[in-house]
Amino acid sequence: MCGISGFIDFNQKSSKDILVHMADALTHRGPDDSGYEFFEENNAQVGFGFRRLSIIDLSAHGHQPMFSEDKNLAIIFNGEIYNFREIRSELESEGYRFVSNSDTEVILQSYQKWGTACVKKFIGMFAIAIYDKINRKIILIRDRPGVKPLMYYWKNGLFLFSSELKSFHRHPDFKKELNFDALSLYLSHGYVSAPYTIFSHTHKLVPGHILILDLKTQNIITEKYWDVNDYYNKPRVKISYNEALEETEKILSSAFQYRMIADVPVGVFLSGGYDSSAVTALLQKNSTRKIKTFTIGFHEQKFNEAEYAKDVAKHLGTDHHEYYCTYKEALDIIPLLPEIYDEPFGDSSAVPTTLVSKIARESVKVALSADGGDEIFAGYPKYIKGIKYYSLLEKIPIPLTRMAGELMRIFKPKERTDYSLPDRYQKLMLVLQNREPLYAFNIATEVFSFSENRKLLNNPGNYLLTPFDENSLLNLNNDTLSRFQATEFKTYMVDDILQKVDRASMSVSLEGREPFLDQRIIEWVATLPSEFKLKNGVGKIILRDIVHKYVPEKMMNRPKMGFMIPVALWFKKELNELLRFYLNKEKIKEQGIFRPEETERILNSYLNQKKMGDFNRIWFLLMFQMWYERWF
Q: For residue range 4-41, what is the model confidence (pLDDT) as tens digits?
A: 999 999 999 999 999 999 999 999 999 999 999 999 98
Q: For residue range 486-537, what is the model confidence (pLDDT) as tens digits?
A: 999 999 999 999 999 999 999 999 999 999 999 999 999 999 999 999 999 9
> 587: domain range?
574-631
Reported confidence tier of residue 324, pLDDT bands at 50, 70, 90:
confident
Residue 465 and residue 497 in one domain: no
Can you give the pLDDT at residue 418?
65
Higher pLDDT, 162 or 433: 162
Last residue of a domain, one of 226, 248, 273: 226
CA distance 118 to 143: 12
Q: Is residue 548 assigned to a domain?
A: yes
Reported confidence tier of residue 407, pLDDT bands at 50, 70, 90:
confident
Residue 479 and residue 504 in one domain: no
| The total number of structural domains that make up the chain | 4
Query: Which of these ranges, 53-62, 370-379, 419-428, has the smallest mean pLDDT?
Result: 419-428
Q: Is residue 567 assigned to a domain?
A: no
Higher pLDDT, 412 or 343: 343
Residue 319 and residue 388 in one domain: no
Reported confidence tier of residue 61, pLDDT bands at 50, 70, 90:
confident
Residue 262 φ then ψ, to 5°: -170, 160
Q: Is residue 562 assigned to a domain?
A: no
CA distance 495 to 203: 13
Q: Is residue 565 assigned to a domain?
A: no
Q: Is residue 546 assigned to a domain?
A: yes
Reported confidence tier of residue 423, pLDDT bands at 50, 70, 90:
confident
Contact present, 258 and 82 (Cβ < 8 Å): yes
Residue 146 and residue 258 in one domain: no
Q: Which residues pair with 81 in a beta bridge?
A: 124
Query: Which of these ranges, 71-75, 429-433, 438-442, 449-453, has the smallest mean pLDDT?
Result: 429-433
Last residue of a domain, one of 226, 241, 266: 226
CA distance 119 to 107: 8
Any idea what the CATH number is for the domain that residue 511 is in?
Answer: 3.40.50.620
Last residue of a domain, one of 201, 226, 251: 226
Q: For residue range 523-544, what is the model confidence (pLDDT) as tens digits?
A: 999 999 999 999 999 999 999 9
Q: Is residue 244 assigned to a domain?
A: yes
Q: Is residue 564 assigned to a domain?
A: no
Residue 208 and residue 251 in one domain: no
Question: How many Cα atoms occupy the beta-carbon half-sphere of 522 within 13 Å?
Answer: 26
Residue 365 and residue 391 in one domain: no
Reported confidence tier of residue 48, pLDDT bands at 50, 70, 90:
very high
Cα 370 to chain center, whole Å?
12
Residue 87 and residue 147 in one domain: yes
Q: Which residue from 488, 447, 490, 449 is spatially nearest to 622, judged by alpha carbons? A: 447
Residue 364 and residue 310 in one domain: yes
Residue 332 and residue 441 in one domain: no
| Residue 325 bears catalytic tag | no
Calculate the average pLDDT of the chain: 92
Helical (H) or strand (E) element with 570: helix 567-572
Q: For residue range 265-315, what is the model confidence (pLDDT) as tens digits?
A: 999 999 999 999 999 999 999 888 999 999 988 776 666 788 899 999 999
Q: For residue range 581-623, what is the model confidence (pLDDT) as tens digits?
A: 999 999 999 999 999 999 999 988 888 876 655 788 999 999 9
Is the pLDDT confidence value at 566 over 70? no
Reported confidence tier of residue 59, pLDDT bands at 50, 70, 90:
confident
Is the pLDDT confidence value at 563 over 60? no
Can you give the pLDDT at residue 565?
62
Can you give the pLDDT at residue 302?
67
DSSP 342-392: SS----TTHHHHHHHHHHHHTT-SEEE--TTHHHHHT--HHHHHHHHHHHH
Any idea what the CATH number is for the domain that residue 101 is in?
Answer: 3.60.20.10
Q: Is residue 442 assigned to a domain?
A: yes
pLDDT average, residue stretch 150-162: 98
Residue 12 and residue 127 in one domain: yes
Q: What percent of the chain has pLDDT above 90?
A: 76
Q: Which residue from 76, 60, 80, 142 is spatially nearest to 108, judged by alpha carbons? A: 76
Can you give the pLDDT at residue 613?
58
- Given the residues 1, 2, 23, 125, select the one marked as catalytic: 2
Can you give the pLDDT at residue 390?
84
Higher pLDDT, 356 or 241: 241
Residue 153 and residue 264 in one domain: no
Residue 52 and residue 196 in one domain: yes
